[in-house]
Amino acid sequence: MSEHNDLGKYGEQLAEAYLSKEGYQIKARNWKFRRGELDIVAQKGDWIVIVEVKTRRLNAVERPQDAVTIGKQRRIVRAADTYIQKHEIDLECRFDIISVIINGGKYELDHMQGAFQPLVQTKA
């Protein structure tokens, strides 16, 4: 596996440990649907929480959360909709981003709750 993939998996492991410690119940990791993937699906109380994890090294050009583009958000929302329907989930849904910045053996984790909302498309 490439260093980039290893870094991403490490960030997801850190995010999962953090969420568990914060009282989230992990329902799925790396759930795939067509062109979309849900990094972490968790539940806390009456919420199903879809978590996108982005990991970068300290010297990266962009902030991790900046990599969650509108197109990426649309793919996540589509996959989340399928996951929720397939598992017959009747809870409020929230989309979070966890950014992880690695600096040597240390890391900084930032949990952005409600980082984005599904975009409503209207016909003109």
Q: Quick one: pLDDT band at residue 121, thresholds 50, 70, 90?
A: low
Topology of domain 3-116 in CATH is Trna Endonuclease; Chain: A, domain 1 (3.40.1350)
Question: What residue has token string 């960030």?
Answer: 11
- For the chain, give the DSSP string: --HHHHHHHHHHHHHHHHHHHTTPEEEEEEEEETTEEEEEEEEETTEEEEEEEEEEETT-SS-GGGG--HHHHHHHHHHHHHHHHHTT--SEEEEEEEEEEEETTEEEEEEEEEEE-PPPP---
Q: Which residues does 15 contact at the CB level (< 8 Å), separation at least 6?
A: 39, 40, 51, 53, 98, 100, 109
What's the pLDDT at 1? 46
Whether the pTM exceeds 0.75: the reply is yes
Residue 58 reports pLDDT greater than 80 = yes
What's the pLDDT at 104? 85
pLDDT per residue over 61-89, tens digit each?
Answer: 777 888 899 999 999 999 999 999 999 99
pLDDT over 90, % of the chain: 71
pLDDT per residue over 1-22, tens digit each?
Answer: 455 578 899 999 999 999 999 9
Amino acid at 55: T
